[in-house]
């Protein structure tokens, strides 16, 4: 006796095989899509880590808590009497380094010699317009209009670095120094 499948039975078998192959194909494509999506997500995440900098540009030299990194990034030498040191930086294409500290008045000349600022002039808080416009919302420094400050600007001979310094005379022996260094 010969077993012959009816035409309907053969069509069902054929349809079942096609559905099985279609299911396997969809499953494989789904897994490949998931892997491709994961790789894409990791690539985008990597770009995001590359574009954003924790600690701003000071992290390039060691971080905002490292005095050597502050000196390198801000293009200055901190005096030995430095106290209350604060540093912050912001970077995207350019870099802004904000540094403040207190120092004894006798350290002023050696400190200035380590910067791009050669002269300071006496100004009031309200005359610090250029300086305060650089601060934006990046640091919370306030200058009293009625108080007198020493202020100066300078830049490197080769360009690429601009520096702005404001000094608050807290007493004849103690200065509060504010520095903004702009690296292009």
**Residues 79-122: pLDDT tens digits?**
999 999 999 998 878 899 999 999 999 999 999 999 999 999 99
Q: What is the pLDDT of residue 117?
A: 96
Q: Does domain 56-183 have CATH number 1.10.3210?
A: no
Going by pLDDT thresholds of 50, 70 and 90, the confidence category of residue 41 is confident
Look at 1 and 5; give whichever has higher pLDDT: 5
Q: Hey, where are the domains in the chain?
A: 7-52, 56-183
Neighbours of 48 (CB within 10 A): 9
Q: What is the pLDDT of residue 167?
A: 96
Side-chain half-sphere CA neighbours of 166 within 13 A: 24
Neighbours of 171 (CB within 10 A): 7
The 8-class DSSP code of residue 77 comes to -
Most confident region among 11-20, 156-165, 171-180 by mean pLDDT: 171-180
Summarised one tens digit per residue, pLDDT across range 15-29 is: 888 888 888 999 898
Mention every residue, 6+ apart, whose C-beta is less than 8 A from residue 20.
none
Side-chain half-sphere CA neighbours of 67 within 13 A: 9
Look at 168 and 39; give whichever has higher pLDDT: 168
pTM, two decimals, is 0.69
Q: What is the pLDDT of residue 2?
A: 57
Look at 11 and 166; give whichever has higher pLDDT: 166
């Amino acid at each position: 006796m010969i077993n012959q499948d009816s035409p309907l039975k053969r069509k069902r078998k054929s349809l079942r095989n096609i559905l099985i192959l279609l299911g396997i194909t969809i499953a494989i494509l789904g897994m490949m899509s998931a892997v491709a999506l994961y790789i894409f997500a990791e690539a985008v995440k990597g770009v995001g880590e590359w574009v954003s900098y924790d600690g701003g540009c000071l992290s390039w030299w060691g971080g905002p808590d490292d005095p050597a990194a502050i000196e390198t990034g801000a293009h200055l030498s901190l005096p030995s009497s430095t106290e209350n040191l604060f540093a912050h930086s912001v970077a995207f294409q350019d870099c802004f380094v904000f540094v403040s500290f207190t120092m004894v008045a006798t350290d002023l000349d050696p400190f200035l010699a380590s910067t791009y600022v050669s002269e300071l002039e006496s100004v009031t808080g309200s005359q610090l317009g250029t300086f305060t416009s650089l601060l934006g919302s990046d640091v919370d420094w306030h200058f009293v209009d009625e108080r007198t400050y020493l202020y100066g600007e300078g830049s490197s001979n080769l360009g690429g670095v601009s520096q702005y310094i404001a000094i608050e005379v807290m007493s004849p022996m103690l200065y509060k120094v504010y520095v903004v260094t702009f690296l292009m």
